[in-house]
Chain A
Amino acid sequence: MNSRITELYSDADMAGLAGRIRRCKVFCWALALAALAACITMIMLTNTANAPRMEGATVAVSTVAGWVVLYVFLFMQTPARRELAHARMLRQEERERVEGAVAVKEERFTIRKSVAVRRVEVTVGDETQRLLVCDSRSKDLVSARPAVLYVCHGYVAAYEVTA
């Protein structure tokens, strides 16, 4: 029988996450600087007649641009950064081998200041070991139906499929 170990995070996945973080950073800085430039321009164009209109426009531009930056930072960049840190931990730290019937649970939850995960239960005889897998990788685990998992600090880091 042939068996193959598959990492949950490949080099390409790591590069993809790093690229997403970089793109988010560039986008946030570009938008923030463009909004600041627009606000400064509006201040320069302010006179007695148009002052309230210019103030309203400046507040609107900075508010909307700030909301977009906040959204990208909170819901795109930060999760990607946490996932990359999580992936590095999975690839660098020591692992243990766990063998048994693997079941990935539906329930999804987020570990505070970390990644979104799903529960994985590995049953050997009467004993059930409870593990976690990063939500974005859980589909791979479900479709592969592995019998052997490699675990790092309670998180699934890789799996072994027997052909």
Chain B
Amino acid sequence: MRAIKNILSQLHTFVLWLLASAIFWGWIFTFVTDTSVEKKITVYCEVPQMEDRLLAAALEEDMPEGLRMIKVHPFSYVMFDMESIGKGDIFIVPAADREELAEYLAPGEGEKIYDTASGEGAAKTYIQYGNEDYYLYLGSGSVHIEDGKAQAVAQRLLAMP
């Protein structure tokens, strides 16, 4: 009883510590879980549902040398930060959205990653596709096209069950 009374008398201190702890470790984890564009491959997926962390972890199992991590994000992740999408390395987009997102996609036809007619597609363990064809593109602003790392990760993604 006395302990509870003591805690209530200093409740603001205990709440403040909780907030400070969450903010501090959150800040530390941004460094642990992210790195510069030169050391990571970023994949953006315009799909209804996906296991982004599990897909990233699976892709990291066989990363090209020199990379530290692979980040996978749904498109909603960049709703308020369109600048970062310009540096994306790989894009998985529905056929209908290709024109709208053309400025972010490297020129070319792209690689068909999901065929809605047959239901065949890559990385279906992690990605739930919608009722249309999906294409994989390299990013127009990717810094990993020249060194071939974006292509290597894209090939691995296309080969995933």
A109 at interface by CB-CB < 8 Å: no
Complex contact B7–A71 (CB within 8 A) = yes
Complex contact B26–A71 (CB within 8 A) = no
Interface residues of B in 1-21 (CB under 8 A from A): 3, 6-7, 10, 13-14, 17-18, 21
Complex partner residue of A46 from B14, B29, B60, CB under 8 angstroms? B29
The majority secondary structure among interface residues of chain A is helix
Q: How far is the CB of A80 from chain B (nearest CB, A)?
A: 14
Q: How far is the CB of B68 from chain A (nearest CB, A)?
A: 10
B159 at interface by CB-CB < 8 Å: no
Q: How far is the CB of A59 from chain B (nearest CB, A)?
A: 5
Chain A residue, CB-CB nearest to B31: A43
Per-residue interface assignment for chain B, residues 49 to 70, with 1 indicating a CB less than 8 Å from any chain A CB and 0 otherwise: 0000110110010000000011
B32 at interface by CB-CB < 8 Å: yes
Complex contact B14–A55 (CB within 8 A) = no
A47 at interface by CB-CB < 8 Å: yes
Complex contact A62–B21 (CB within 8 A) = yes
Per-residue interface assignment for chain A, residues 37 to 74, with 1 indicating a CB less than 8 Å from any chain B CB and 0 otherwise: 00100010011110110110011001100110011001
Chain A residue, CB-CB nearest to B51: A49
Complex contact B60–A48 (CB within 8 A) = yes
Q: How many residues of A contact B (CB 8 A)?
A: 20
The majority secondary structure among interface residues of chain B is helix
Complex contact A49–B53 (CB within 8 A) = yes
Chain B residues closer than 8 Å to A66, beta-carbon distance: 17, 21
Chain A residues closer than 8 Å to B22, beta-carbon distance: 59, 63
Chain A residues closer than 8 Å to B57, beta-carbon distance: 47-49
Taken together as a complex, chains A and B put the C-alpha atoms of A145 and B104 apart, in Å, by: 89
Complex contact B21–A74 (CB within 8 A) = no
Interface size grouping (class) on chain B: 20 to 34
Chain B residue, CB-CB nearest to A47: B57
Complex partner residue of B13 from A48, A54, A70, CB under 8 angstroms? A70
Complex contact B54–A49 (CB within 8 A) = yes
Complex contact A39–B25 (CB within 8 A) = yes
Interface residues of B in 58-101 (CB under 8 A from A): 60, 69-71
Taken together as a complex, chains A and B put the C-alpha atoms of A71 and B33 apart, in Å, by: 33
Complex contact B32–A48 (CB within 8 A) = no
Other 20 A-B pairs with CB < 8 A, given A55-B26, A63-B17: A39-B25, A43-B29, A46-B33, A47-B60, A48-B33, A48-B60, A48-B69, A48-B70, A48-B71, A49-B56, A49-B57, A51-B33, A52-B53, A55-B29, A58-B25, A58-B29, A63-B21, A63-B22, A66-B17, A70-B13
Residues of A at the B interface (CB closer than 8 Å) are: 39, 43, 46-49, 51-52, 54-55, 58-59, 62-63, 66-67, 70-71, 74-75
